[in-house]
Amino acid sequence: MKTLAVISLCIFVTCLQQIEAACPTGSSAQGSYCFIASKSEQKYTSAWIFCKAAGCNLAVPDTTDKRTQLKSFMSSNSIVDSNVFFGSVDAIVEGTWVKSPTGETWSDINWATSEPSGGSNQNCLSVKSSTGTWEFEAKSCGSSYKFICECDAV
């Protein structure tokens, strides 16, 4: 009887873990992350608003694992040969990059050669998806690019 109760509990816990790891409607699972790929190019502020309206944030590629998952997600969503906005800016203090969702600073950014450049004219983080090495660039927030939202699992 105890064995059956333990097995039932394990099945229940496993089911709960699978439910907890589900992505919100409109987003797709990629590894342990939930992402939404933009269908069109937007200015940074519009991209940020779009993600917030979906209950998400602009994705921040701040770990090796997340960068790997974002690369796969972008490839599977045919986001190639284009710049993509991510959730990091240096608009408050030039040269100090902060994660848009949290305001935390971060410096583990694999910059493309001669980047970041543009000073106060280029304050939004982008990656050129065709570089193969996934090097980051500072871009004008007023430019329009595709973007990726990151959502919490529900």
The residue among 101, 3, 13 whose CA lies nearest residue 51 is 101
**Residue labelled with tokens 């816990």:** 13
Residue 61 preceded by cis peptide, ω within 30: no
| pLDDT at position 26 | 87
Residue 67, token pair as written in the block: 């960068």
Per-residue pLDDT of the chain (154 residues; tens, 9 = 90+): 544 433 333 333 343 344 445 998 889 999 889 999 999 999 999 999 999 999 999 999 999 899 999 989 998 888 877 889 999 999 888 989 999 889 999 888 888 888 988 788 999 999 977 656 688 999 999 999 999 999 998 8
Give the separation between CA 5 and CA 10, rounded to whole angstroms: 9
Whether 83 contacts 146, CB under 8 Å: yes
Q: Which residues pair with 35 in a beta bridge?
A: 28, 150
Phi, psi of 58 (to 5 degrees): -60, 135
Over the stretch 17-57, which tens digit does the pLDDT of each residue have?
Answer: 444 459 988 899 998 899 999 999 999 999 999 999 999 99
Kindly give, in sequence order, each residue whose CB lies less than 8 Å from that of residue 114, ignoring residues fewer than 6 positions away. Answer: none
Give the separation between CA 86 and CA 58, rounded to whole angstroms: 6
Residue 82, token pair as written in the block: 């284009």
Class of domain 2-151: alpha beta
Give, in degrees to the nearest 5, the angle at Cα 50 between 44 and 56. 105
Whether 62 contacts 108, CB under 8 Å: yes
